[in-house]
A and B are shown apart, each in its own frame.
Chain A
Amino acid sequence: QKEVEQDPGPLSVPEGAIVSLNCTYSNSAFQYFMWYRQYSRKGPELLMYTYSSGNKEDGRFTAQVDKSSKYISLFIRDSQPSDSATYLCAMSEGTSYDKVIFGPGTSLSVIP
């Protein structure tokens, strides 16, 4: 079993839809959870960063962490064509050397 799993998609939605992106993980020691957005042929950019369980909201984006289920989600409200990208989840234990484990990414297309 991979340490972090993510449905690769592609996921295609109409503009204005609510998008749900998910990752599951196996290491219960993970405490820090991140979501990155990567446009084609570009480096990933940090979207959301959460510690431990709970929700965090930033504009149209909401990150949810359920440590009991080892499951994290990113919700995008009122999706826009500019949201079309690959979304990578990432997580780490938060120990002295912080190795970050990345999911393979979900490709999202928002159709106008």
Chain B
Amino acid sequence: DGGITQSPKYLFRKEGQNVTLSCEQNLNHDAMYWYRQDPGQGLRLIYYSQIVNDFQKGDIAEGYSVSREKKESFPLTVTSAQKNPTAFYLCASSMGDRNMKTQYFGPGTRLLVL
């Protein structure tokens, strides 16, 4: 089955702790994205990567970090500097082609603060 997987489904963070959310895709997509979803708000872009070993900040990158060492994987770390991390985190990928702007999403990770 081709698709995007995210793990864990639920994640609990303690004060001062860094946590890492996993995102893997087997769609052979070049571009990958991380979004944050809060109630009543549209998806907000945290980071994106168009190619391996390269990534760019989105609109709300503060308190987050990413890496893109493999085409298939784009993990997101929520650092202790992110003061309001409780949200639903969505990973997406796209072909990255100029004519194919559609993004495909994973099932999401819900992050809660203890």
Contacts and interface: CB of A to CB of B under 8 A. Distances in A.
Interface of A: 4, 6, 8, 32, 34, 36, 41-46, 49, 88, 90, 92, 94, 96-105
Given A34-B101, A41-B110, A104-B40, 20 more contacts: A4-B42, A6-B42, A8-B40, A36-B105, A41-B108, A42-B107, A43-B90, A43-B105, A43-B108, A44-B105, A45-B105, A46-B103, A46-B104, A49-B101, A88-B43, A97-B50, A98-B98, A100-B103, A101-B42, A102-B43
Contacts, number: 55
B41 interface: yes
A42 to B, nearest CB: 6
Interface of B: 4, 6, 35, 40-43, 45, 48, 50, 56, 88, 90, 92, 94, 98-99, 101-108, 110
Nearest to A2: B42
A63 B111 CA distance: 34
Contacts of A104: 40-42
A92 B33 CA distance: 15
A55 B27 CA distance: 29
Contacts of B101: 32, 34, 49, 92, 94, 98, 100
Given A102-B42, A104-B41, A105-B42, A34 B102 contact: yes
